[in-house]
Structure 1
Amino acid sequence: MSAQAMTTTPELLRTTLRVDSWSTGAFGVVMLAGATWFDGLLGLPVSWSVALGIAMLGGAAVLALIAGYERIPARSAGAVVVVNTLSCVGLVVLACTDVVGLTGLGRAFMVVGAVVVAVFGEFEFVGLRRILGAAR
């Protein structure tokens, strides 16, 4: 693989990473601020909301860092796609099992979250493919 295949700057990928970062960070703040409220409304325990909120803030920082590189490393973009895929699967598992005693609204909330993560993951995947295709 050439050096250019390892790093490049297609705007679709950069823009998607930035929007993913902003939305992940904003939602992390919502998860932290609404932790008590989500417990009753969604059935999502406070400890889960806090843990998810902190993880989302960390993820947002990583996404912003990757988006800020002059040339986005293909491996970093690939890692983002993998993490988004795993997050999507995790949200669906939470929605479809009794791991956490979610309410009906809580299950719908998780499914909507999974769809949002899947959409970001798809755009990032397309951006990654463009990186790899441009290097050929």
Structure 2
Amino acid sequence: MLNFQSPGFLRRVLLADAISGLAMGLMLVAGADLLAPLLGLSAVLLREAGFVLFPVAAFIGYAGLRKELSRRMVWAVIAVNALWVMDSFVLLFSGWVTPTLLGQVFVAGQAVVVAVFAELEFFGVRRVRLAMPA
């Protein structure tokens, strides 16, 4: 059973978010040339998205590893995750790219994973708000 009221829960979610962001960034940077034809997305787009994830993952990891969790930092993580999700769907529906079916599933799937992290972080920060400094 998930204990949303535990600062440990929020810390674990933040660290899982950071690790998954780093892994995705590494995959996109290292595998851009292999993924591009499969996903129907340019290698440049994939590589740049991967490079963007490195500082984001570092920030999320820093937020989760601090001795005391900061509400402001967690809210910033939630905002960045929400922006990533919105940008993912803008990419899919803007007509700027024409991803393959696998590419559409990939972009939507990673957006759903990021949205789940944001939701868990939202529940966590709301539940432990009295115990956390601003």
Q: Which residue of 2 aligns with 1:6?
A: none
Query: 1:94: how far off?
Result: 1.4
5 Å-filtered alignment, 1:102-117, equals 102-117=99-114
Tell me the number of residue pairs that the alignment of Structure 1 and Structure 2 aligns: 127
Asked whether 1:74 is paired with 2:71, we answer yes
Deviation at 1:37, TM superposition (A): 1.3
> Per-residue displacement from partner, 1:24-46 (whole Å, max 9, x unpaired)?
10111000111011211111111
The residue that corresponds to 2:28 in the other structure is 31
Q: How does 1:4-15 map to 2 (within 5 A)?
A: 10-15=7-12
Q: Provide structure 2 residue ranges, at least 5 long, that are not aligned to the other structure.
A: 1-5
The CA deviation at 1:96 is 2.3
Structure 1: which 5+ residue stretches go unaligned? Answer: 1-8
Partner residue of 1:98 out of 95, 101, 105: 95
Q: Deviations over 1:49-83 (max 9, x none)?
A: 11111111111111111111111110000011111
Cα displacement (A) at 1:97: 2.8
Q: What TM-score do the two structures reach when normalised by structure 1?
A: 0.87
* CA RMSD, Structure 1 to Structure 2 (Å): 1.4
Equivalents in 1 of 2:7, 2:73: separation in Å?
14
Check the 8 A contact 1:88/1:115 in 2, yes or no: yes
Q: Which runs of 4+ in 1 moved over 4 A?
A: none
